[in-house]
Amino acid sequence: MNIQRYIFLAMVFIGMNLVAGCNKSSPDGHDGHDNHNDHAGHQEQSNQGQGDHDGHDEHGDDVVRLSPAQLEASGVIIEPLGGGEIASHIDLPAEIGLNQDSVLHVTPRVWGIVSQVNRYLGDEVNEGDLLAVIESPELGEAKIEFLGQIQSKNNLDVEFARQETISKNTEALLAILRQEPTPSELRKQADGLRIGMNKGRLLSAYTQMKTGSVNYAREKELNTKGLSTEADFLLSQELFYSAQAEYMSVFEDIEFSYQLALQEAKQEAKIAASSVDNAKRKLYLLGLTKDDVERVENEPNENIVRYELVAPGSGQIITKHLTPGERVGTDVPVYTISDLNSVWLNISVYSQYASLIKQGQPVTVIAGDRIATGVVEYIGAVITESSRTANARVVLNNQNRAWRPGEFVTVQIQTEKANVQRVVPIDAIQSFEGHDVVFVQHDDEIMPVQIEIGRRNDDYAELLNSDIAIGSNIVVKNSFLIKAELGKSAAGHDH
């Protein structure tokens, strides 16, 4: 209450006292009564005074009589006693900290020399924003290996495709030969079947076999008719059998080898594809994205060592440890990014209160004109040896950036909530003659009643007095004025 309010209330009570004094004084002027009558009047007044004293004995001196107008003018508010809810809490120290679940430590995946810095301390960044550029020989070597594996795979893919064509055509040619066509029919049917040098081997062996067969048949017929010598017959027979054996050997060799060549080409192409995948995985391990890898084949040579350090998430840069020309490695973060839209409230819970703190309990933190609420989300299981406290944590919404990590605050943790029959505001309770009292109004009298306090918090208290009936009129605001008036009455009575 400000000074003007106190002056106003003092003037009200001075006026109240003046009115009370005027009511007790005799009127101006006298009607000429004699001394006896005056004495009788004095005796009557004395008796009346004694009667008033007896009234104080009945109710005690601790009674204040104020009219409704006087109560209203002084700001005294009287309300009926009733029940309500009382939430108990404890006050504990706490520190605002970063939400460690949203803190990003940005470390290069490769060592190199910083060539460009794009984001600085305090900048807000989004996921994927370019933070810095590093020239990395390690990355360049990995890209070169990747490009080499791609070239090797392309070559082996071509060879595999060629072997597939050869295999298909060889299969067709062998099917034709199994039908034993004439050499002229074979040439027509084999035309367009590309199988490489094996085609010449097969056609040559087949033709020699067919020619030998014809010569052998002719010599056999002539020998039977006696028109040929036995030597010529045996020579033709030998040449035929030799050509037949050669053809069968070539046929079986090609039938086996073309399938083997196809399997080998297929296996080599598969291994080459695996090598490309491994080289690609290495680039991923060095921090490149899928889009980055796809661009490697077409990027200019000067970008072969370019490593782009990008933000892994959104937030504000709270630390930066790199400058152009500096050598950076893979073991120390060069940026720290934190999403400050939420912060942690790290509460130090003294060991004697540890059993009272539970997950889900409401928490209020007030610092000046800043107020925030939350619930206990984590309670540490260990008491710190140095401070003898446990750690409890609350996540606070900080979208307005009202809370700064590192700031010390005091929090209120609600430990109990109970519905009670008799509740009064803390302002209704006064200490009077060494006891806690509330002021109860009966008709036009206000008197103190000693109380026993049960549960309480900063705003309300429970009355354990069953003798104060529910519904009794209690002074709930500016009760100190009633106490002050009682003090003045007591002083006047002693005088």
pLDDT at 376 > cutoff 90: yes
Residue-wise pLDDT tens digits, 189-235: 888 888 888 888 888 998 999 998 989 889 888 888 888 888 888 89
- Look at residue 280 and tell me whether its pLDDT is greater than 90: yes
Using the predicted structure, report yes or no on whether residue 481 has a pLDDT greater than 50.
yes
Query: What does the chain come to in residues?
Result: 495
Mean pLDDT, rounded, for 365-383:
90
Is the confidence at residue 127, as pLDDT, over 90?
Answer: yes
Per-residue pLDDT at 45: 41
For 173-209, letters b (16+ CB in 10 Å) and e give bbebbeeebeeeebeebbeebebeebbebbbebbbbb
Give pLDDT tens digits for 416-437. 888 888 999 999 999 988 889 9
Q: Which two tokens stand for residue 219?
A: 């010599």
Cα–Cα dist 165/186, whole Å: 20
The pLDDT assigned to 405 comes to: 94
Q: How far apart are CA 483 and CA 495, in angstroms?
A: 19
User: Up-side HSE of residue 431: CA atoms within 13 Å toward CB?
Assistant: 1
Q: Where are the beta strands (DSSP E) in 368-434?
A: 370-375, 378-379, 389-397, 408-425, 430-432
| pLDDT of 378 over the 90 cut | yes
pLDDT of residue 490: 59
Higher-confidence position of 1 and 127: 127
Share of the chain above pLDDT 70, in %: 86
17-29 pLDDT per residue, tens = 544 444 433 334 3
169-174: average pLDDT: 90
* pLDDT tens-digit series, residues 35-73: 434 443 444 443 443 434 333 333 456 888 888 888 888
Q: Over range 241-249, report the average pLDDT.
A: 92
- Residue 224, pLDDT score: 87
Which of 101-105, 210-214, 358-362, 476-480 holds the top average pLDDT?
Answer: 101-105
Across the chain, which distance is largest between two alpha carbons, in Å?
A: 205
Q: How far is it, in rounded angstroms, from Cα 273 to Cα 267?
A: 10
Q: Say which residue, 54 or 153, is predicted with more confidence.
A: 153
Residue 478 φ/ψ region, left for φ over 0, alpha for ψ in the -120 to 50 degree band, beta for the rest: left
What average pLDDT does range 280-300 have in this prediction? 91
Give the range among 152-161, 186-195, 274-283 with minimum mean pLDDT.
186-195
Read off the pTM.
0.60
